[in-house]
Structure 1
Amino acid sequence: MSGNNDKVTAKTYWVWTQRAEMKNPARTKAGDQIWMEHLYEAPQWMIDEGLIQDAEDAPQEGQTSIFDFI
């Protein structure tokens, strides 16, 4: 952990990444919302370590967008 506890606000909300799931598969699943206390504002170190990302930027499994047809 880098020790950086500055808070970063998500555009939408924070979700777990594949990296977080690989580190702790029993408690995290990629694409799921993170803990409620950090859902909209999370510590910078979680982003720095690649554990979370904005839901807007997360891959959407099973979702079709207009770009799939172009």
Structure 2
Amino acid sequence: MADNNDKVTSKTCWVWTQKAEKTNPSRSVEGEPIWPHYQQQAPRKWLEDGLIQDSTEFTGKGQMDLFELM
């Protein structure tokens, strides 16, 4: 069992995932930064549960990758 103080640090900042938005749509929007006091360090459980991801991993809703055009 993970310690309640167990945190993970992001490269840039943490953003909500699609799973988080589906779980709690009134507070979490996919791709939007998580609460300010958790943007750099967040509970490891959120990452393990798939609720957050580093902003560098978020590709955006409906965004096309340049390689899809080639």
Query: Under TM normalisation by the shorter chain, which class is it?
Result: 0.7 to 0.9
SS of 2:27's equivalent in the other structure is coil
Distance 1:65 1:23 in 2: 27
Provide the residue aligned with 1:32 in structure 2.
32
Pairwise CA RMSD: 1.7
Size of the aligned set, in residue pairs, is 69
Aligned to 2:48: 48
**Structure 2 unaligned regions, length at least 5:** none
Moved over 2 A (4+): 2-5, 60-70
Matched, 1:10 2:10: yes
| DSSP-derived class of the 2:45 partner | helix
- In the aligned structure 1, how far is the partner of 2:47 from the partner of 2:39? 13
Shift in Å, 1:7: 1.1
Per the alignment, residue 57 of structure 1 pairs with: 57
Stretches of structure 1 that go unaligned for 5 or more consecutive residues are: none
SS of corresponding position for 1:26: coil
Q: Percent identity?
A: 45
